[in-house]
Amino acid sequence: MAKITPRAQDYSKWYLDIINHAKLADYAPVKGCMVIRPNGYAIWEKMQAALDKMFKETGHVNAYFPMFIPEHFMQKEAEHVEGFAPEVAVVTHGGGKKLDEPLVIRPTSETIIWSMYKNWIQSYRDLPMLINQWANVVRWEMRTRLFLRTTEFLWQEGHTAHATPEEAEEETMKMLNVYATFAEEHMAVPVIKGRKSESEKFAGAVTTYCIEAMMQDTKALQAGTSHNLGQNFSKAFEVTFQDRDGQLKHPHSTSWGVSTRLIGALIMAHSDDKGLILPPRLATVQVVIVPIGRSEEEWNSVCEVADGIRKELAALGVGVKLDDDQKQKPGWKFAEYELLGIPLRMEIGPRDVESKQVMVARRDTGEKASIAMAELSEQIPALLASIQQGIYDKAKAFRDAHIFNASTYDELKAIINADQGWVRAGWNGSAEVEAKIKEETKATIRCIPFEQPENLGTCVYSGEPAKYEVLFAKAY
């Protein structure tokens, strides 16, 4: 049986053990790259389906832009090139020949997309342009960690163009809210919405908004970002449209993305020392049925009933698997499905068949209960909903218990240095103060939360009047 290092012993090892034993991902032959194995990819497919639906419901359409970007495109937006140039992979040869101009593999697609928008946007009638892309991107990383930071990763990137700054800001916030809803309602991960400081914002953005989540080691993880890009890219790529008033104007734009790092967030937020814990809405198999029987006769009659239940649940839209493999014993299967994070296990033995009931065990709490077969179509969906909510509530209680107010820098340092959690504190808005705190504690400003107190108090570092209340934390 898979041996998982307990969290208390070595959190990093625990994380990698889960990924390894649950076969979620593997290291690739190329340094920093990752193979997403079928069990991990199934989670991504569920995430994609839910997000894609939300994108379409908010009026977006999908497209695909090339991954090759002419090197000089990257240089058109000054901050963008400064941020991304050091991390790009470069194609210099194609078809056996040296290329006239090297091609950058997209680290993000603003430049290639705006080079196309130049052709597609002429009039206010062409706006808003609301396009999303599901794609792979490459950022050359020195220190990598499966799912959380890899050289190549999968993501979606929305790129929109609008006639007015107000519409662009509305779009930026709308998509941040889509991400927050997805994180909380599908991933069961509570998030705090806020704005990034100048030093932490996207290279090329006017404003970056984010959702921040707490992992079980109390570190923060940025789970999604939505950028208001102003007219930076429309100006850099000379995109104009004729507005209703006949004037030529540059469109206002946004971009927003989440990536396969969300799988890492999901693992770190919920799992335990037995393995993965999947929220039902992201589990392909939500219920696994394990039949139990000694004699061939017992086995056959149990499996027949179990298969009936499988069909009944499948017809309700429940993701259900009947594990009728006779080579493995029930105890082995129990441990295996706990490792894989299947939300609900159902056991059926000969006596259950007789008494027309089944035993179910929740993955999140370990609680067991018996349910009458006649009530399964009502009880199972209710139990899955209860698990989904229970996982969220637990993560939220954990997070809320690990955010501390600090009014002095000593307090902040004590909390951060002891890895107790996040610190909520006043900040005077100075980039110097932010840099000092980062240098001295390794904690960064995760965000300036949208919810601000009425009385801001003083800056935790300088003692000056605070401009914002912010969240400090070490982060992935």
26 belongs to the binding site for its own copies (CB under 8 A): yes
What residue type is assigned to position 280 of the chain? P
Relative to beta strand 320-322, strand 68-70 is unpaired
What residue type is assigned to position 305 of the chain? V
Q: HSE (CB half, 13 Å, CA atoms) of 112?
A: 19
Q: In angstroms, rounded to a whole number, what is the distance separating the alpha carbons of residues 379 and 228? A: 45
69 belongs to the binding site for its own copies (CB under 8 A): yes
**# of chain residues touching its own copies (CB under 8 A):** 55
61 belongs to the binding site for its own copies (CB under 8 A): yes
Residues 151-180 interacting with its own copies (rule: CB under 8 A): 151-152, 154
Q: Which two tokens stand for residue 274?
A: 């037995």
Please return the burial class of 193, using the count of CB atoms within 10 Å of its CB with bins 0-12, 13-18 and 19+: buried
Select from 12-20, 91-99, 203-211, 394-402 the region that touches its own copies (CB under 8 A): 91-99
Element of type H or E holding 313: helix 296-315
Closest distance between its own copies and the C-beta of residue 151, in Å? Answer: 8
73 belongs to the binding site for its own copies (CB under 8 A): yes
314 belongs to the binding site for its own copies (CB under 8 A): no
91 belongs to the binding site for its own copies (CB under 8 A): yes
Among positions 21, 37, 235, 321, the unique one binding its own copies when judged by CB under 8 A = 37
68 belongs to the binding site for its own copies (CB under 8 A): yes
Gyration radius of the chain over CA positions: 25
Among positions 1, 30, 248, 418, the unique one binding its own copies when judged by CB under 8 A = 30
CB 448 within 8 A of CB 429: no
Select from 10-18, 92-100, 217-225, 366-374 the region that touches its own copies (CB under 8 A): 92-100
Residues 6-25 interacting with its own copies (rule: CB under 8 A): none
Among positions 4, 81, 103, 447, the unique one binding its own copies when judged by CB under 8 A = 103
CA dihedral for 364, 148, 202, 459, sign (positive or negative): positive
Could you tell me the CA-to-CA distances from 91 to 86, 134, 349 in Å, in that order?
Answer: 15, 22, 60
Residues of this chain that bind its own copies (CB under 8 A): 26, 28-30, 33-38, 40-42, 44-45, 61-70, 73, 85-96, 102-103, 105, 112, 115-116, 119-120, 131, 135-136, 140-142, 151-152, 154
